[in-house]
Each structure stands twice: as C-alpha cells, then as structure tokens.
Amino acid sequence: MSEDMKLTIDRRKCVGRKGQTIVEVARENDIWIPTLCFDERMEPYGACRVCLVEVEGARALLPACTAEITPDMVVTTSNERIDSIRRTVIELILSDHPKDCLTCESNGSCALQDLAYRYGVKESSFGGEAHSYHLLDDNPVIERDPDKCILCGRCVRICEEIVGAGVYGFVGRGFDTTVGTPYEHPLEESPCLFCGQCISTCPVGALASKLSKGAGRPWELEETDTTCPYCGVGCTLTLWTRDNKVVNITAPLDRGVNRGNLCVKGRFGFQYIDSPERLKHPMIRGKDGRLRKTSWNKAISLVTERFSGIVEKHGADAVGGLSSARCTNEENYLFQKFMRAVVGTNNVDHCARL
C-alpha cells in the first residue's frame, strides 16, 4: 500500500501518497494551482513555471507539478511574490503570442487566456522581436499554428509517452525553438496516426481540429457524454453539438476507461452522422436496378421470403450473418440467436473494424 503523508496547503490539512506531486494533492483537495505544461496523463515536465509555489524551508520557489510531497510539508500557492512571478511569466509568453483571441478557435477554452484574465494581464510589457510562421494545413483533420505555440511540450510528450508515435519534437534552440515533425515533413508523411491526442492536450490554439473549425464557440455548444460505438473498448466521449448537429468530439480526463484518450475514429469519425448519403429508409432494388424507398413491413417481408427460399433450396448453411461491433451486447446476442434458432446456421461473424 502507498505510504500516506500529511501536509498543509494554504493552511488546509491534506493527506497525500508517497510519490505524488504538490499539484496532484492540491487537485484532489480542490485547491487551484495554475498550470500550462501539466497534463495528468503524462509524466511531470516543469517547463512553464506558472505553477511555482512557496514551500516552507525551501531556498526558492518550487514547480508544483514536479515537486514531490514530503511529510509535514507546508505549501503556499498564492501570495504577492508568487502572483508577481506568475504575471511576469504570462507577460513573457504573451510577448511572442498572437493577439487574435477574437477569431482563435480556442477562444473560451484557452488556458493562457484564462490565466491572463485571472491575473489581470492585459498586455505584455516586454517588447522586441516576435515570430511569424506559416499556418501548417497539410492534412484533412489537424491544423497547426506555430505562432500560437508556447513550447509547453505537451504535444511532444503525449505523442511519445501515450501514443508511442513520436511525431513531434523540438527543433532549433533558444528563441528560434519550434515544435515540428522530422525534417519538417507534412503529417501525412510522418508516423502520425491522426488520433488527435496532440489537439486534446494543447492548452492554447496552436493545434486545432479542422472538422470543428468555425462550428461554434464552447459556450454555444451543448455537451453530452456517451460511449464510442466503434469497437469494444467502450471509450467515453463528449459530444459537442449545435442545432442538433455534432461539431466536435472530445474525451473527459476524469472518467471512462480511456481517461481523455481517443483514436482517430473516436475523435474524428463523426461526419457520417449528418452525411446526405446516409440511408434513412429501407430500400428495395427494382428490376431496373434502381433502389427505391419502401416501408419496413415490405422490406422485412422481402428479406423473409428470400431467406426462406435460399434455406429451402440450398440449406440453412447457405446463409450467413455479419453483425457489427457497434451494436450493444444485447443486440448482438439477439442477432446470433436469430441466426442459430430461426435460420438454423452457425455462420455468424462480425468485424470490429466497421
């Protein structure tokens, strides 16, 4: 069992476990500490420094996302000194960051914007050269805007630690550092799986879904939790809808077997829902080869007639049933029961890749 440790955070008595960081214990106790580079799915990184806190007895402020707790530790998360340093860090980031919040896709869900608002940073007092890169729009689903990148490293780390693809990496040094692909190749020429994990962890608007661009602000969308239908893992999804149309899919970090992680199908495979080519009625092909809309009664009667004729002429094993992994367990049970008990064959299969 993990060793429990008692500590004090902002005069509140807390209990943590050996190996936990200050941020982890603080969040378990609903104590807010600002972060930009921290994502609970990955190993602590300590790059952004906005999570600096004061620890009694320490020689300097410590990054709460990497500093592990110790017995009887006394932590202060906010005071005049800490807040002043955080404002300076925010100003430094904003000194080389676009001011196009009104048109940015992350407006309303941007961690940097939230911190600037909370600490009253209206503009940066640091002048000087600012970067100007090209928008990278080289694939169907992911848009990259290097101008908005704050070099938090979250996309690099999630691609390496969680996905195992290692598509992104830091390129250059110092002021000229950027995040890019090997030899600046397009994503389609890289090991990218297009899972969108990089989008899910980006705290700003440097990475965005092209399928959701211009579809609405977060406060205009309705949020609904559901389960991904694509395979048997059962990942938890959050559907973002506007006017009864799905415009984006994310995954909550705090629940579900996936804990915020999704594959390419779960994150981007939703456009079929409103596709004009999607069948909405049963269709019967006429003698002229054209499909025509019909009623369910006629369609089921035709299937029954054809199945009965095949079984009578060639036997039950001349019929096979292919089910879908996107159905519920109960629906698939009924399907195989129908094939075995009614049709009389064991020719039942399914394909989880549907």
pLDDT at position 231 is 79
Residues of the chain falling short of pLDDT 70: 1-2, 352-354
pLDDT at position 354 is 44
Are residue 133 and residue 169 in the same domain, yes or no?
Answer: yes
Kindly state whether residue 89 falls inside one of the protein's structural domains: no
Kindly state whether residue 97 falls inside one of the protein's structural domains: no
pLDDT at position 2 is 66
Are residue 268 and residue 287 in the same domain, yes or no?
Answer: no
Which residues lie closer than 8 Å to 136 by C-beta, 6 or more apart?
Answer: 143, 144, 145, 146
- Give the Cα separation of 5 and 69 in Å (integer): 8
- Give the Cα separation of 191 and 131 in Å (integer): 27
What radius of gyration, in Å, describes the C-alpha atoms of the chain? 27
Kindly state whether residue 112 falls inside one of the protein's structural domains: no
- Give the Cα separation of 307 and 313 in Å (integer): 10
Are residue 143 and residue 32 in the same domain, yes or no?
Answer: no
Are residue 229 and residue 287 in the same domain, yes or no?
Answer: no
Q: Which domain holds residue 303?
A: 283-351
Kindly state whether residue 96 falls inside one of the protein's structural domains: no
Cα-based distances in Å from 220 to 105, 208, 215, 242, 341 = 13, 18, 9, 7, 50
Are residue 155 and residue 18 in the same domain, yes or no?
Answer: no
3-state helix, strand and coil shares in percent for the chain, rounded to the nearest 5 = 30, 20, 50
| Long-range pairs, 127-134, Cβ under 8 A, ≥24 | 127/95, 128/95, 129/175, 130/95, 130/96, 131/96, 133/178
Are residue 255 and residue 305 in the same domain, yes or no?
Answer: no
- Give the Cα separation of 198 and 75 in Å (integer): 32
Q: How many domains does the chain have?
A: 3
**Angle ∠(100,103,109) on CA atoms, nearest 5:** 90
**Phi then psi dihedrals of residue 59, to 5 deg:** -75, -25
Strand-pair partners of 318 = none
pLDDT at position 166 is 96
- pTM score, whole prediction: 0.86
- Give the Cα separation of 64 and 9 in Å (integer): 11
Kindly state whether residue 100 falls inside one of the protein's structural domains: no
Are residue 176 and residue 257 in the same domain, yes or no?
Answer: yes
Which residues lie closer than 8 Å to 247 by C-beta, 6 or more apart?
Answer: 211, 212, 215, 216, 221, 240, 241
Show the tokens assigned to 86. Answer: 């955080």
Are residue 317 and residue 260 in the same domain, yes or no?
Answer: no
Are residue 203 and residue 146 in the same domain, yes or no?
Answer: yes
